[in-house]
Amino acid sequence: MKKLLLLPILFFVTILSFAQDLSYYLPNDVTYNKAVPTPKDIIYHEVGEWHVTHDRLVNYMKAVAAAAPERIKFETMGFSYEDRPQVLLIITSPKNHARLEEIRQQHIKLTDPSQSASVNTENMPIVVYMGHSIHGNESSGANASLVGAYYLAAAQGKQIDELLDNVVILFDPSFNPDGLQRFSTWANQHKSKNLVSDPNSREFNEVWPGGRFNHYWFDLNRDWLPAVHRESQNRLTWFHKWKPNILTDHHEQGSSSTFFFQPGVPSRVNPLTPEKTRS
């Protein structure tokens, strides 16, 4: 009898430990273009079920770009030391894509004081660079980029149309391809069949050098200014080609940590950020 009672409980626990499908992450008041593949269609697992490897991530970015060419242009910025492509999706409305180079040139003029006064900014989209997981073992960024790319490629309706009319998004799903590949291989290889949260689990204790670094064990987050590594050089070439208004840099904190805010100068904190979330 006790065993019979246990069965439904085990079943329930098993359901809970499965990764969620996309409806968990996405707004439910939006319809999605069925011609755009979901991440699972291409990478063979739900987002969050396994750590996405860099090569599957690239496969997905190629697939969304091919399925929504009116919104997405696929670019390869260069290659990591282990010859993994550094992918950049340029995402904006079809109307903006039709004059993308003109938008870029107008936008760049704003950085030149001798020309900026002549630029009409009335209907000029802003430029946002979204970069993910420069520390390869802070992989929630790269895994979240699957959902982000799907939404931007497939969502339908007024809200997404307005967003894409007003923004050119330079979407970089993996700042550190070699680190992401190293970490995802380790974590997937050592993951327990039944999920565990014990920090002593082998899954959570990578061997040196771990996925934080690039091929030469260099922390690419320390290379934005010196730019001695090819991943940084390739990325910064595109950064300066576009000079984005905003760059978002998707890292990861520990599961019990707050969000990170730069210490020292209070004015750096966006006033819209609630007090309780500041560390």
Site residues for Zn ion per CB under 5 A: 135, 138, 251
User: Which of 54/135 has CB closer to Zn ion?
Assistant: 135
Residue 257 C-beta: closest distance to Zn ion, Å: 11
Nearest residue to 89 via CA among 172, 165, 160: 172
Could you tell me the sign of the dihedral formed by the alpha carbons of 257, 258, 260, 264, in that order?
Answer: negative
Q: From the CB of residue 181, how many other CB atoms can be counted at a distance below 10 Å?
A: 22
Q: How far apart are the C-alpha atoms of 4 and 158, rounded to whole Å?
A: 51
Rank residues 140 and 188 by Cβ distance to Zn ion and give the closer one: 140
Closest CB 209 distance from Zn ion, rounded Å:
15
Q: Which is nearer to Zn ion, 138 or 206 (CB)?
A: 138
Nearer to Zn ion, 31 or 256 (CB): 256
Residue number, 171 or 213, with CB nearest to Zn ion: 213
Nearest distance from C-beta of residue 254 to Zn ion, angstroms: 11
Task: Report the residue number whose CB is nearest to Zn ion.
Answer: 251
Residue with tokens 């760059």: 247
Report, in Å, the least distance between residue 179 CB and Zn ion: 11
The kind and range of the H/E element at 88 are: strand 85-91
According to DSSP, residue 47 is labeled: B
Smallest distance, Zn ion to C-beta of residue 132, A: 11
Q: By C-beta, is 138 or 172 nearer to Zn ion?
A: 138
| Closest approach of Zn ion to the CB of residue 221, in Å | 6
| Nearest-approach distance from CB 137 to Zn ion, in angstroms | 9
Q: How far is 191 from 187, CA to CA, in rounded Å?
A: 6
Nearer to Zn ion, 165 or 219 (CB): 219
Contact 57, 180 (CB under 8 A): yes
Are 269 and 261 in contact by the 8 Å Cβ rule? The answer is yes
Nearest CA to 89 among 116, 45, 58, 48? 58
| Residues 117 and 178 sit within 8 Å (Cβ to Cβ) | no
As a whole number of angstroms, the distance between CA 182 and CA 13 comes to 30
Contact assessment for residue 203 and residue 196, using Cβ atoms and an 8 Å cutoff: yes
